[in-house]
Amino acid sequence: MNALSPAAARTLLHTRQITCAGYQRDDGLWDVEGRLSDMRSYKTETALTDHFKRIPGEPLHLMSMRLTIDTGFVIVQAEALTHNGPYPECPQISDSYQQLVGLTIATGFIKAVKSRFRGHLGCTHLTDLLGPMATTALQTMRPKMATERRLRGEAAADEGPRPALLDSCHALRRGGQAAVIRWGKIGGLAD
């Protein structure tokens, strides 16, 4: 099946868009930029409507973030910006995301982020953006770095005794066809 089943009659009320892009910089570092927007197709009516008006077609939330990352996947610079938020206080939290500096994008990253920016210590939407940005960093950096290692005649990072991507998803599970083809005996059942 190449499409979802037909939908019931419905009215679009809310659209969230997240876009992320990864860049290799000329100085040897990497940038990942993310943007999150929430749009409603109707005027939001709340007790605060008179103070914080939102017009249909204008983003309720519009946030951007840039992470600069070294080759060890350590965040060396972080910048967050709230372009639109439902309350005047929303942009005030953006500078807190500089606390990402020093974190490594690896196992435990999202747990560290949620601990550091929980509740009033962060913005739900900026924090939500970090999951897709971390994935974008890995998908930007790993293949490019592996290609560069191969060109230098070095072994790829996933050719060691326990490849980092082994068992990371259904397709790359130990004993699965993709794992066996990619890693041979390591990806097989007997090792």
Could you read off the pLDDT of 110-152 as tens digits, one per residue? Answer: 999 999 999 999 999 999 999 999 999 999 999 899 888 888 8
| Residues linked to residue 21 through DSSP beta bridges, in sequence order | 33
- Tokens of residue 189, six digits: 């059942």
Query: Which residue, 90, 78, 1, 2, is CA-closest to 38?
Result: 90
The whole-angstrom separation of Cα 54 and Cα 58 is 7
Eight-class DSSP state of 122: S
Residue 191 confidence class, pLDDT cut points 50, 70, 90: very low
Say which range, 29-38, 54-63, 166-175, has the weakest mean pLDDT. Answer: 54-63
Contact 31, 136 (CB under 8 A): no
pTM value surpassing 0.75: yes
Residue 50 confidence class, pLDDT cut points 50, 70, 90: low
- Tokens of residue 183, six digits: 């890693």
> What does the pLDDT average to over 70-80?
97
Contact 32, 69 (CB under 8 A): yes
Highest mean pLDDT: which range of 114-118, 171-175, 179-183: 114-118
- C-alpha triplet 139, 96, 55: angle, nearest 5°: 85
Residue 190 has pLDDT above 60, yes or no: no
Residue 54 has pLDDT above 70, yes or no: no
- C-alpha triplet 180, 182, 184: angle, nearest 5°: 45
**pLDDT over 70, % of the chain:** 85
C-alpha 66, offset from chain centre:
11
The whole-angstrom separation of Cα 72 and Cα 88 is 37
> What does the pLDDT average to over 77-92?
93
> What does the pLDDT average to over 153-168?
72
Residue 35 has pLDDT above 70, yes or no: yes
What is the reported pLDDT for 23? 98
Where is 125: in which H helix or E strand?
helix 124-151
Task: State whether residue 53 is helix, strand or coil.
Answer: coil
